[in-house]
């Protein structure tokens, strides 16, 4: 059985990644680059690279093809264009770029480290209103929010042991 990490490792054998400074240089040089953000719309609205387009990962394949409700003409007609796919950390974008290559996109790469790396490199992010976000504010919006129940069972158990019960709770049996 393959796991998520296996899918990422497999995609890395086919997909090129670039770093935030590479994307900055491409944009600064005025290259005709499509920056495709594959995060969910609420994530995109909170913080994104100015000028990027948002197509959630869940509808990407349809957005890349003509004659669908989700069709994005810039993508459907852009198989020969330079495309940099971004997400929060670089994982969803890696898988999305892999799928796009399968669909015939010839110049597609993934932004390694994602929007978080872009922000760490102190490049500007904007919100849905186009307001530039302070790097610290963006960092809080982009932070991981893995809840305890989402952790691997062994990790949950270790965390529970490391955290003493609150006073008044279940007492440890005495000898």
pLDDT digits (tens, 9 = 90+) for 123-156: 999 999 999 999 999 999 999 999 999 998 876 5
pLDDT digits over 7-58, tens only?
Answer: 999 999 999 999 999 999 999 999 999 999 999 999 999 999 999 999 999 9
Asked if residue 49 belongs to a domain, the reply is yes
pTM of the model: 0.86
How many other C-beta atoms are found inside a 10 Å radius of the C-beta of residue 163? 9
Q: What gap in Å lies between CA 152 and CA 88, rounded to an integer? A: 21
Domain assignment of residue 74, yes or no: yes
Which CATH number belongs to the domain containing residue 37 in this structure?
Answer: 3.40.250.10
Q: Is residue 37 part of a domain?
A: yes
Q: What is the DSSP string of 76-118?
A: HT-TTSEEEEE-SSSHHHHHHHHHHHHTT-SEEEEETTHHHHH
Residues near 95 by Cβ (< 8 Å), separated by ≥ 6? 7, 8, 11, 57
Where b means 16+ CB within 10 Å and e means fewer, 62-74 reads bbbeeeeeebbee
* CA 107, chain centre distance (Å): 19
User: What digits encode the pLDDT tens for the residues 66-116?
Assistant: 999 999 999 999 999 999 999 999 999 999 999 999 999 999 999 999 999
Task: Say how many domains are in the chain.
Answer: 1
126 falls within a domain:
yes
pLDDT the model gives residue 34: 98
pLDDT at 164: 54
Which residues span the domain enclosing 58? 4-142
Q: Is the pLDDT of residue 117 over 60?
A: yes
pLDDT band for position 162 (50/70/90)? low
In a domain? residue 131? yes
Residue 33 has φ and ψ, to the nearest 5°, of: -105, 135
């Amino acid at each position: 059985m393959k796991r998520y990490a296996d899918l990422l490792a497999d995609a890395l054998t086919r997909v090129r990644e670039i770093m935030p400074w590479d994307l900055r240089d491409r944009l600064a040089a005025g290259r005709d680059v499509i920056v495709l953000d594959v995060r969910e719309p609420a994530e995109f609205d909170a913080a994104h690279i100015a000028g990027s387009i948002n197509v959630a990962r869940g509808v990407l394949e349809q957005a890349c093809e003509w004659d669908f409700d989700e069709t994005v003409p810039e993508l459907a007609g852009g198989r020969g264009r330079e495309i940099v796919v971004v997400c929060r950390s670089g994982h969803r974008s890696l898988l999305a770029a892999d799928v796009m290559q399968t669909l015939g996109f010839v110049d597609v790469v993934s932004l390694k480290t994602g929007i978080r790396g872009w922000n760490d490199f102190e490049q500007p992010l904007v919100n849905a209103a186009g307001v530039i976000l302070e790097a610290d504010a963006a960092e809080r919006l982009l932070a991981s929010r893995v809840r305890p129940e989402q952790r691997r069972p062994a990790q949950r158990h270790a965390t529970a042991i490391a955290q003493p019960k609150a006073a008044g709770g279940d007492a440890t049996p005495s000898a």
